[in-house]
A and B are shown apart, each in its own frame.
Chain A
Amino acid sequence: MKRLIVYFLEIIICFVIQTSCFRYFALADIMPNLLLILIVSSAYMRGRMAGLIIGFFSGLLVDLIYGSFVIGQYSQSGEYISYSIIGVHALLYLLIGYFFGYTHRFYSYDDYTLPLIIVAISNFIYKFIYYIIEFLLRGRLNFVYYLRRFIIPEVIYTVAASVLVYKLLHMINHHLNRKNEDQV
């Protein structure tokens, strides 16, 4: 129960920081994807189940506040209206959380390099899939540009942020584990 509350708080804090601190942290308009760090490092530390649950709920939160704008239509005067769709982020994040949960078997208490690599890979995959469903389907074919301008910088920034964030999450997780063992 206590663990669930901690998860819940972690999701909220990451989301709020990611969305409203852009003025202070953003480099070249890019913010690190803190939610993804949270999802992947929980998956890495706790396994598939935790990754899945955290991924689902943080995706849902993003969807409920912003949604994603994958589908739209043109009006008579040529203006484009797109609908805000709920569930795309939730689906993507939960799948990422689940599949990166398989890395739990390589988990070791004092390995701080592997999680960074995992975060980098997951962020790349996430952005790539998102590029396909959001931009490629609307005929934006210049992948190299998106890669250079958005995907790579975000991956780098996220990995840099995850050095700190992972350590913090790791500490929280360790603390929770120890408490549980004490009770047993």
Chain B
Amino acid sequence: MKRRTKININPKHVLMFCVFISALLIIISLRFGEKLKPVKEAVGSAITPMQRGINVVGMFISDKLDNFKKINELLEENERLKEQVNVLSYENKLLLQDKRELDELRRLFKLDQKYLDYPKVAAHVISKDSDNWYNVFTIDKGTRDGLAKNMNVLAGNGLAGIIIEAHYNYSIVRSIIDDNSSVSGMILDSSDLCIVKGDLQLMDEGKIRVEHIDIATDVKEGAEVVTSHISDYFFEGISIGYITEVKVDASKMTKTAYLKPVVDFERLEEVLIITELKEPLID
């Protein structure tokens, strides 16, 4: 057969050729990362619908299974929640009074509500990276829905991550617990700055490391850490988590703490994206 003869290329040559191509790609993507975007876009547009499809089917099935399993649990929970509602509605009343007072004071200070007012878009998490190292995931919204690189991603009421690549119908998000992530944060009580750094090793304990806290700061356990005003990419005042453990560094110049993120990264299914970019300080 004619076709057989084609296979007689020496594998060594193909090996050298492919190694050369990959090396070239590494260099190109390092130097001119943006140039390769159309290629990524094309491949991504083909793959993401499949990933989304699998997710829709899978979720449907697991939802149905869960329904059967959880009816009893739900009944119990319902009882418990009803009691809780009573307690909470009383507390809520008190809080509303406080809020009115707060609004009054805010108006006096001419402060507005902070990040509640940013325009947001909701999206589903559709896939996770293929190695188990990273905490990078894709969401099913892209530039088509007004998303762009470096937009902040929230989940529930805390910071989940940042968009590192936006494509036409999907985007890639790096979560703040990723080993590569580092966010400029601020301890809410004392307004002291710190760096919130993800660490793969702490991920299992559900913690993130907080570095570069000034030694003079009195950091209490349970203090809330929010994104800082000097952050280049993150809007100010988004909750990151609560401090659980503080220790003094070996250098005796700074403290390191651990915080428990507000967002539950184990079960991240829906996220909110702030569709505004933080204005860079210098440009």
Q: Which residues of A contact B (CB under 8 A)?
A: 1, 12, 15-24, 29-31, 33, 35, 47-49, 52-53, 56, 59-67, 69, 71-72, 74-80, 82-88, 90-91, 94-95, 98, 101, 130, 134-135, 138, 140, 142, 145-146, 149-150, 154, 183-184
Contacts and interface: CB of A to CB of B under 8 A. Distances in A.
A160 to B, nearest CB: 15
Interface of B: 1, 3, 7, 9, 11, 14-15, 18-19, 21-26, 28-30, 33, 36, 39-40, 43-44, 47, 50-52, 54-55, 58, 62, 126-134, 136, 138, 164-165, 172, 179-184, 195, 197, 200-201, 204, 212, 228, 230-234, 281
A20 B29 contact: no
A91 B182 contact: no
B142 to A, nearest CB: 13
A184 B181 CA distance: 57
Main secondary structure of the interface of A (DSSP, over half): helix
Contacts of A142: 201
A64 B41 CA distance: 8
B23 A20 contact: no
A31 B129 CA distance: 10
Given A83-B29, A135-B179, A183-B1, A48 B11 contact: yes
A61 B43 contact: yes
A87 B23 contact: yes
B26 A88 contact: yes
A48 B18 CA distance: 13
B45 to A, nearest CB: 11
6 contacts: A21-B54, A24-B58, A33-B130, A79-B195, A90-B25, A140-B201
B29 A85 contact: yes
B201 A145 contact: yes
- Nearest 10 A-B pairs (CB), nearest first? A87-B25, A87-B26, A91-B22, A20-B51, A80-B182, A19-B127, A86-B29, A20-B127, A77-B184, A48-B11
A52 B11 contact: yes
Given A20-B54, A20-B55, A49-B11, A80 B180 contact: yes
B58 A66 contact: no
A86 B36 contact: yes
B15 A67 contact: no
Given A49-B11, A77-B228, A83-B33, A66 B26 contact: no
A15 B18 contact: no
B183 A63 contact: no
Given A65-B43, A86-B29, A98 B165 contact: no
Contact of B47 (A16, A29, A48): A16
B9 to A, nearest CB: 8
Given A65-B40, A74-B182, A90-B21, 6 more contacts: A12-B47, A19-B51, A22-B128, A52-B14, A56-B18, A65-B138
Contacts of B62: 23-24
A99 B130 CA distance: 22
Contacts of A91: 19, 22-23, 26
Most chain B Cβ neighbours within 10 Å, of A17, A87, A90: A87
B266 to A, nearest CB: 8
A75 B136 CA distance: 20
Contacts of A29: 132
Contacts of A49: 7, 9, 11, 14
A78 B130 contact: no
B127 A22 contact: yes
A153 B3 CA distance: 43
A94 B30 contact: no
A91 B26 CA distance: 9
A182 B30 CA distance: 49
Contacts of B33: 83-84
A136 to B, nearest CB: 12
A72 B195 contact: no
